[in-house]
Amino acid sequence: MARILWAAMATALFGFAGLALAQNTPPASPAPPDFSKVEIKTTDLGHDTYMLQGQGGNITVAVGTDGVIMVDGEFAPLHDKIKAAIAAITQQPVKYLINTHYHGDHSGGNAPFAADGVKVVAQENVKKRLADGTTNALTGNKTPPAAPEALPAETYGDKLVLKVKGRSAALAHIQAAHTDGDTYVYFKDANVLSTGDIVTVGGRYPNIDVGAGGNIKGMIAGADTFLKVANDQTKIVPGHGPLLTKADLKNYRALLVDSEGRVAKLVKAGKTIDEAVAAKPLADLDAKAGANQQGSDNFVKLIYLSLKPANA
């Protein structure tokens, strides 16, 4: 048990470093969050399906008659609070924990939930990234390999369906988007779509983890896929930010396309990455995204590296 607790805390700290990039904040060592003050907010999405929000990525919970399917698990130290929030909804046990990608603010809960007997499921590249460790493409900071108990117990390649009695979750892989291991999850009976960090809103530009196979073109392709899956009644749970509608998703896609086009013009003109940042191509979009200057600069860099990786 002591080993599991140590691993959980280590995962949380490494995950917070990933969260800093996901929020497009400066890479200077931020103080870790005070998890003791975090409260888990629960939003009822209908049909025994819920969105949980605490510190880190959004969680989706689908309740069956013999178990629960959960999408993402935030940070390890929030395990008990997340369990309590689920217990307030249902007495059924969590059977599956799906990682939408490898970042610690979504996968940090793997080890403690696995210790409860929950099966952790992810796209196969997630297990590779967690097992091998990763390097931040912007800062060069390294995240060491995760402990064995934090690795997914089941992986898939392209598509997978998970079932508990009375509920099913359709998992599918989007290639080279936020990372190279992104999963989105659709609960057809509830018309709820969980996108992971391919969709991130609310005071930031999305992160593109180009060091782990992410690419702006894949982000746009992911948004296109979601628009095909969703209808006007679909409740869309983004990786970060408030619940979205299909109309919100269309606006988000337009922002991605506009941003890519502006940076692509600078790449085509032969600008270096520093010159592209100095040109401030997204200046009039920053307020719409809710991003600060550092966030804007980082997003320009990530799009640039997506389009011209040889200049990294």
Length of the chain: 312
How far is CA 53 from its chain centroid? 13
Q: Which of 63, 290, 43 is nearest to 167 (CA)?
A: 63
Quote the tokens at residue 161.
């369906």
Model pLDDT, residue 135 = 92
Coil, strand or helix at 16: helix
Model pLDDT, residue 14 = 42
Coil, strand or helix at 171: strand
Model pLDDT, residue 18 = 44
Model pLDDT, residue 102 = 98
pLDDT along the chain (312 residues), means of 10: 42 44 47 91 98 97 98 98 98 98 97 98 98 93 95 98 98 98 98 98 94 97 98 98 98 98 97 97 94 95 89 46
In the chain, the amino acid numbered 246 is K
Model pLDDT, residue 310 = 58
Classify residue 280 as left (phi > 0), alpha (psi -120 to 50) or beta. left
Residue 285: other Cβ atoms inside 10 A: 16
Q: Which stretches does DSSP call E strand in the chain? A: 41-46, 49-53, 59-63, 68-71, 94-98, 119-123, 134-135, 142-143, 154-156, 159-164, 167-174, 182-187, 192-200, 235-240
Instruction: Please say whether the beta carbons of 173 and 159 come within 8 A.
Output: yes
CATH number of 2-251: 3.60.15.10
**CA-based end-to-end distance of the chain:** 42
Model pLDDT, residue 30 = 62
